[in-house]
Amino acid sequence: MLRYNSLSDLELVELLRTGDQNAFAEIYERYFELLYLHAYNRLRDKDEAKDLVQELFSHLWSKRGTLEPKTNFSNYLYTWVRNRVLNAIAHKQVEEKYRAALPGWISGTEALTDHRVRERQLAAIIESEIRALPPKMREVFELSRKSNLSYKEIAEKLNLSEQSVRSHVKNALKVLRMRLGILLYLFFIFYK
């Protein structure tokens, strides 16, 4: 019987490329905690760090057939996490910039009325993009964000695993970020 914990990273990657779930599990066991700590030390947010590392492993599994064994697989994993952390930090800085600018936008009655109109327009755009999500992803996302159910409650209600629920929410957010990113940018530029 093959002992996965005694295999090198390169051997595990080769097995992973063939769809070997045990090789994937060993890579996960070997690196999850280290990568989580690496992400958490930068982000200081447990859930965000955990989601980021889960996204990496989801990416690894979905791209397993095209993975090219690297001479230093751990560097590949750390680089992937570092890049996503830097993206998350940059995104937070943009959010803070908009949050800081918001009070200036809402000065006066006219600006407040205009803001409410834009808020409704933006809500309609966001709702439209949510309706465009695949049915199961949309259902999970709405239960999470609109009904404020926990991942565990959603999993029990829909007879899914918590990991599936987390993946649906994460993927929905990813799709919405991609679809809404440019729209929000243009919305704020043209409606200052």
Domains delineated in the chain: 1-97 (1.10.1740.10), 106-192 (1.10.10.10)
State the average pLDDT over residues 21-36: 95
pLDDT at 159 over 70: yes
Work out the percent of the chain whose per-residue pLDDT is above 70.
85
Name the nearest CA neighbour of 76 among 23, 9, 174, 17: 9
Q: In this model, does residue 185 exceed pLDDT 60?
A: no
The confidence band for 192, taking pLDDT boundaries of 50, 70 and 90, is very low
- Check pLDDT > 80 for residue 173: no
User: pLDDT tens across 79-138, in order?
Assistant: 999 999 998 888 888 888 877 776 665 555 555 566 677 778 777 877 887 788 888 888
pTM: 0.52
CB 22 within 8 A of CB 72: no
DSSP-assigned letter for residue 134: -
Where do the H-state alpha helices sit in 44-134?
46-62, 73-105, 109-131
Cα(165)–Cα(65) distance, integer angstroms? 25
Q: Is the pLDDT of residue 9 over 70?
A: yes
